[in-house]
Structure 1
């Protein structure tokens, strides 16, 4: 019998260990955890923003982005219009995220790379038809100053004047310290996976996380 790790809030290192144990020790496929995470994000959007119809999802190339792809599929299935924006080209995305991205593409959702979008939007989202934005750019393991296309995209999202739902952590927030790493998403709601992150309990984090929902994604 595997001994469970019981704690109300976790560091990034502890969360990584919980993920590893779920996959390697308990045998839960990583793609199942990703599907659970994305589904809960979509359910949160439907619950708290029931009238929202037009949603833009901003995705990185890692598992956080993969959660965003799954959320997009579930929202599409609920008759929401989903627009998808990627940090990298679809061909550069691998593993579980790539599987979920391909499903979206088969549903007819064509992603646009963020370099192209930032250029076309001239640094502003005002006037664009989105009711809500989902931040699935960067995960809890992010360290160091946010720069380049990530910083540009975060600024773009924050300036949109639309509610933002962050996946696991607002992009640009240090999940251990609760301090911004330069540019940082200001979310209306943060759906964080499996456990509360220690940094979210800090006063500095509050204006970035918004309401925090700890999602059960099946990790023991």
Structure 2
């Protein structure tokens, strides 16, 4: 998989891809992540990529020209399955979306900034709009990093145990059950006996029951879906 991220602040995207699972996936060549500075695609003075809104109003808007040039340049080298715009009013990211995106080959992610992008970008260049939640960030970079993490961890070979992602919260519209590790007892707090019984069919039954119970208590809306 290849992910190209377009941003006005590429430095914000360095850290997430230089550590942990994401770095390991890149080092193992399971994914390529390329960050493109939008300012490299403008011919305006001072590398300007934004301008005032037509009609007046507070806040600057990213111009269509440098975005179009950047996306067009990338598309000359390969075909992209999705061109995603990170925006607060996009479809809320969920596990189903991450699962489907992890099956794609090439993705572009455009990070919004300021008051957003010229609407003509959204009308003609973007194929999908995604939000990571009902709140506003200073830019789309952190949202893009979150999206990349949710996708990359699903790629075969990224996790040491490939079945781990299949039992994550939300995979079956259920929250994950409680988990425990050593010591078996700590300050009078004991691990449930079933988990140390060695009866794996009963353990799986217990985990499923606990997952359903936790979902009913915390996120009943997931069961309605």
TM-score of the aligned structures, taking structure 2 as reference length: 0.26
Structure number with larger C-alpha Rg? 2
TM-score of the aligned structures, taking structure 1 as reference length: 0.27
